[in-house]
Amino acid sequence: MYNDEYKRWLAADLADADLSPELRRIEGNDEEIKDRFAVSLKFGTAGLRGVLGAGTNRMNIYVVAQATQGLANWVKTQGGTQTVAISYDTRLKSDVFSKTAAGVLAANGIKVRIYDAAMPVPALSFATRYYNCNAGIMVTASHNPAKYNGYKAYGPDGCQMPDQAADIVYEEIQKIDVLDGAQQVSFAQGVEDGLIRFVGDDCKKAFYEAIESRQVRPGLARTSGLKLVYSPLNGSGLVPVTQVLKDIGITDITIVPEQEYPNGYFTTCSYPNPEIYAALESGLKLAQECGADLMLATDPDADRVGIAMKCPDGSYELVSGNEMGVLLLDYICAGRIEKGTMPENPVAVMSLVSTPLAKAVADHYGVELRSVLTGFKWIGDQILGLEKKGEEERFIFGFEESYGYLAGTYVRDKDAVVASMLICEMAAYYRATGSSIKQRLEEIYTQYGRYLNKIDSFEFPGLTGMDKMTGIMTELRNNPPAAIGKYKVTKAVDFKKSEETGLPPANVLLYELEGGATAIVRPSGTEPKIKTYFTTLGKDLAEAQAQKDELAAALKPLFS
């Protein structure tokens, strides 16, 4: 079956000149053909994500056109403005895929608003809301290596598409022939027909104004003398992040030169993920050279940000996503109470795999902290619930441990632009008061306890990878552990049982252990990985780390 599909592609007159040589190169190689054609990339709530190349199991203009036709079929049933917003990052083929999608939508009579240059996820979410669109498309593979690209679909609220709508789109996609089933016009024809228009300067200006309105202590950064090193990791963050920082008065910004401009090959770091040291390495060297207060990096689609903070001895220390979530929550709460801008009954939201330290901080400031399933759309869903009651101003902050943050309701996905602004404002504030981010973090640990949050990942590549992951999760459900290492399991929660959790069903298992530690097991929704999230609490870091190591060693054999 897959060989027949391969031969059909091989015989076709393919519009992308990169695809035919690849198909000819693998002729006679059954394993390579099977890998590309045995299955199709599945469209889910995270959209599409895959390796660039030829075939139904790859990201290419044909798979993108097929997905967009499925989306168009759904949009045509929705009434409204019959408009879709499109943005894209700096990855290989991102601009080509975005224009392909625009041509399919235009051929279906659907209006398009597309950015004229690479812009991040939050800009797409904002444009979707600004133009009252039926949907949005973001072409990106987030922080994956260079060989990947992807396609995220958004609903009219600017949140990633909910399960129900994504299922309908997927059903429509399956009816469409991948090579010639999509209606298409050229991008130029769509522009000429007036169906494709660029996002206007009014929308871009409104986006920046919405972000800058989220300052906690407006004007403070102008006089702070904060010295910053910034890396957009060759992605889409350069223009919006530097624009907003300069607008609030942070002008001493040194950009990492080799990571400044678009480069979809990401030649300076094979994995452009601000969670890992290798992605920040060039920036750290530069920070050391110029004595920066802070080093900051955004991922290619600029929805996540990582930082390194300067320590009293002049060294730099990476800040985890959990630590930054807690620092920002603490800063926003204290600052808004001080300025008299804290709303009544304030609400913050975090993913359930994020640190319980945030709960202690929220309780201290009288803030309701809600825990939701992993995936920022669930934080967006909480904002939507408040909005329906006319109470969206109650939302002050949302975060997840994977370096995603949002303050404000102007977008419904994580936003590295507003996060970068608030991190720099926070650093400027502590600098001005004779303190630092490092000092404040230590004060938080002294006040609430030494929490440690660590994640281990286990990869299951290849066509059988998903089956192995399913088998592991099934075994854990059928035979839950009575103990992990020497720690007795006091409570096991299966998030597939929504009647027990009060949340939508999810493939997540949580184990509460004697002594207060927790272990969470969760397959990734976008990559062939199972992740284990550990939270331990010790009298100091060494004790918390030792407990984590013991728990990890006990669980590791389950994933071999």
Catalytic residues: 142
Edge-to-edge strand ranges of the sheet holding 148-154: 48-51, 148-154, 135-139, 83-88, 111-114, 196-198
Question: DSSP secondary-structure letter at 216?
Answer: S
As a whole number of angstroms, the distance between CA 304 and CA 517 comes to 27
- Beta strand segments in 225-355, E: 228-231, 253-255, 294-298, 305-310, 316-319, 347-351
Going by C-alpha positions, the residue among 454, 445, 438 that lies closest to residue 315 is 438
Report CA-CA distances (Å) from 464 to 276, 459, 469: 28, 12, 9
The angle formed by the CA atoms of residues 143, 144 and 146, to the nearest 5 degrees, is 110
Going by C-alpha positions, the residue among 162, 156, 90 that lies closest to residue 129 is 156
Packing angle of the helix pair 121-130, 201-212 (nearest 10 deg): 110
Name 511's bridge partners: 492, 519
As a whole number of angstroms, the distance between CA 82 and CA 103 comes to 15
The angle formed by the CA atoms of residues 44, 46 and 50, to the nearest 5 degrees, is 90
Question: What SS3 state is found at 172?
Answer: helix
CB burial of residue 257 (10 Å; 0-12, 13-18, 19+): exposed
As a whole number of angstroms, the distance between CA 184 and CA 198 comes to 19
Nearby residues of 149 by Cβ (< 8 Å), 6 or more positions away? 49, 50, 52, 59, 91, 92, 93, 94, 97, 139, 140, 141
Query: Phi/psi of residue 551, each to 5°?
Result: -65, -45
As a whole number of angstroms, the distance between CA 417 and CA 232 comes to 11
Question: What SS3 state is found at 345?
Answer: coil
- Say how many residues make up the chain: 560
Residues 367, 347 contacting (CB under 8 angstroms): yes
Nearby residues of 542 by Cβ (< 8 Å), 6 or more positions away? none
As a whole number of angstroms, the distance between CA 559 and CA 281 comes to 30
